[in-house]
Amino acid sequence: MGKNGYLPLFETKPAGGLVFFRSYAASIFIGICFICFHRVSYFPVTERWVWVGMFVAELWFSFYFFITVIVKWNPVFRSTFKDRLSSRFEEEELPGVDIFVCTADPRLEPPTMVVSTVLSVMAYDYPPHKLSVYLSDDGCSDLTFYALLEASRFAQLWLPFCRKLKVEPTSPEAYFQTTPEPVDDVFMANEWLIIKKSYEDMKNRIESITSLGKVPAYRRKEHNGFDEWDFVLSPHHHPSILQILIDGRDPNAIDIEGKALPTLVYLAREKRPQIHHNFKAGALNALIRVSSKVSNAPFILNVDCDMFSNNSKAIRDALCFFLDEGNGHEIAYVQYPQAFDNLTENEIYGSLRVLMKLELAGFDGNGGPCYVGTGCVHRRESLSGMKYSEELAVELKAMKYDKKIIGSASFNEEDCKALASCTYEENTPWGKEKGVKYESLVEDVLTGMSIQSKGWRSVFFNPQREAFLGMGPTTLLDTLVQHKRWGEGELQILLSKHCPFVYGRPNMPLKLQLSYCIYNLWAPNCFATLYYVFVPSFCLFRGISLFPKISSSWGIPYLYVIFVHRVHSLVEYVWLGGTVRGWLNEQRMWMFKRTTSYLFAAIDHILKLFGFSKSAFAITGKVADDDVHRRYEQEIMEFGTWSPMFTVLATLALFNLLGLIAVVTNNVAIGDARMKIFDVFGFQILLCYVLVFINLPIYQGMFFRKDSVSQSACGRPSPRLAQQI
């Protein structure tokens, strides 16, 4: 029972096993102290700079470990009471929710995938007349518009079907792929087949027109909206296009059962070649402004176009936080974790498992999770730049949500185009103090930090049934490029006026400011990692020992820290639902990202600071050819496309392999003295073995793989990875 006599709509519980984790962290800290004492006490007379480099790298790893401990020190997990929400609010008293879906390129993000996501969020278990779905098409493609038009028609069948069968997930593509035909009820089985055939017919129409590359004239006659493309010069040069395909305020906008349909809006904001459009952040800000005139819902959910709804009650879960009488008024956004539908069993390219399931819960315990750009429900006031205050809190507590917007859809459609013009934001606070922020490649993280710095709280919620499922990268290069952008964006934040230790004061607690460093320091991590990957192996060639002897008692803290730290990492990963092989792949990708993605991120940002480079937003492809997809399903690492990142990986892999071969050869040659050699160089030899094991897929790609390949950068078929160096 709450302090005012109400039953709370959510509860918060600390994570279990904290005593074990804190004991582990304390023991690692003691081990680190012994290692530091050894480094200082046994300072060599010769090769001292190599020794200093090792010490500095270990100090960096220790500092980063301290940051991770802060993040995981007090994670909290939350649960909601949707039954209390339903008993407290009638349908007409529930607030409206605007849903933003963003797409940018129909070649990388197929229209069939986009509309399946749109249909999934239209089918939420929520009063449909309270939902408004907006699709932002930054590719300004008539193919995407045609697909959305088809989806608006299919929604008349799909939404009643979802209500009747309580469909989960509500994405038709995902549902029909994972759910067998019902056999117990002949009537329902017949309806199931009818709906499936209707969906497949719609999908085939969309795919056939997408393969043509243009919408035929007879299809363009189906809707006046296609006339807008007569004024489109290119995807980067066109006026604003705004089409309301379903107007939820229209009494004739109903499904086959006579129930209201959600509002459905298509938006392609204006673009001009000479005006920077600020990528996804600019698209979201245009949607915020346009939606404020069309529906103006007090809450906004944004999802990526590849991230369909997997839990039809996700909106009700989020509202349990916002509408809680005790603490709801101070909550700016509810962040759901990202999860992926296309991961292989052992997650060949790693995953965001620990980040999304544990680290964000740790953020929540320290003051609130960061905003990760998708799967997030925002309060419109906070996203529009308002600061939290006691006066605002009083207004929010007294707010009623049964208001209706009066107006003509056609009037709004024309009136709102100016809000999506490319010059609207000139000399305004948009992108700086209002809306999604522009000054970083990771606009989501910066936006969340800005909201928290204005006094708002955020919460992390991970329901038993995952709220959203998306598509992870299916090639090594896509993964590395994605993390390169993230690493560079995080470094931008750290080295700017938006550094959490400056930007976050005084409304963000120190432990939350420190928590942001776990990502802000991704790029700087590359230098210590590269030193550890390269220098110990190099010193093996020259006979320089960098660690204590295996027989020495000083080797114990090194062994303890390395072994216990990795065992804890494995236990943590498996506890979160991963596999042992998945953890090994995660360790491999951890090293690959640190030695390539974050290295190039650091270099690019340094060049940008000196004016030699500009920021660019890379869209991760959501489609792959059959060979690439087959190798991904078989968990075979993909090296088809040339990249300088592969050159770095191949060089480091060969260097460590040669170092290991040299050690093995020398041990055979000297016979009886091999134990003495192992005693002196044991730690370096073990490190070399581990690095060679991690790089096994690199060696396979260079020397053993014979499968067909993608085209090389110069347009010719190329051997796997061998020509990368």
3-state secondary structure of 254: strand
Is 304 marked as binding a ligand?
Answer: yes
The count of other CB atoms within 10 Å of the CB of residue 266 is 22
Q: Are strands 131-137 and 97-103 parallel, antiparallel or unpaired?
A: parallel
Rounded Cα–Cα distance for residues 343 and 319 (Å)? 30
* Residue that is written with structure tokens 């005139």 in the block: 293
Say which amino acid occupies 504: G
Rounded Cα–Cα distance for residues 458 and 120 (Å)? 25
3-state secondary structure of 407: coil
Is 280 marked as binding a ligand?
Answer: yes
Q: 206-238: string of b/e by CB count within 10 Å (b at 16+)? A: beebbeeeebeeebbeeeebbebbeebeebeeb
> Could you confirm whether 672 is annotated as catalytic?
no
> Could you confirm whether 444 is annotated as catalytic?
yes
Rounded Cα–Cα distance for residues 134 and 126 (Å)? 17
Rounded Cα–Cα distance for residues 414 and 412 (Å)? 5
Rounded Cα–Cα distance for residues 459 and 451 (Å)? 13
Rounded Cα–Cα distance for residues 624 and 342 (Å)? 12
CB 491 within 8 A of CB 602: yes
What one-character DSSP code corresponds to residue 359? I
Q: Which two tokens stand for residue 153?
A: 């028609």
Q: Give Rg (Cα) of the chain.
A: 28
Burial group, residue 245, by CB count within 10 angstroms (0-12, 13-18, 19+): buried
3-state secondary structure of 696: helix
Burial group, residue 264, by CB count within 10 angstroms (0-12, 13-18, 19+): buried
Closest C-alpha among 169, 166, 173, 164 to residue 191: 164
Choosing from 138, 247, 306, 341, the catalytic residue is: 138
Rounded Cα–Cα distance for residues 270 and 417 (Å)? 8
Check the CA dihedral 224-417-110-151 and report its sign: negative
Q: In what order do the strands lie in the sheet with 299-304?
A: 241-246, 263-268, 131-137, 97-103, 299-304, 376-379, 331-335, 457-460
Rounded Cα–Cα distance for residues 612 and 634 (Å)? 41
Rounded Cα–Cα distance for residues 582 and 171 (Å)? 27
Q: Which two tokens stand for residue 636?
A: 């075979």
Rounded Cα–Cα distance for residues 618 and 478 (Å)? 10
The count of other CB atoms within 10 Å of the CB of residue 171 is 28
CB 368 within 8 A of CB 458: yes
Choosing from 98, 444, 478, 604, the catalytic residue is: 444
Q: Which two tokens stand for residue 484?
A: 């390169």
* Residue that is written with structure tokens 């460093």 in the block: 517
Beta bridge partners of 97: 131, 299
Cis status of the peptide bond prior to 719, with omega within 30 of 0: no
Residue-level length of the chain = 725
Burial group, residue 436, by CB count within 10 angstroms (0-12, 13-18, 19+): buried
Strands (E), 269-345: 299-304, 308-309, 331-335
Q: Which two tokens stand for residue 37?
A: 């004492």
Annotated binding site for Mn(2+): 280, 304
Q: Binding-site residues, please?
A: 109, 138, 280, 304
| Residues with active-site annotation | 138, 444
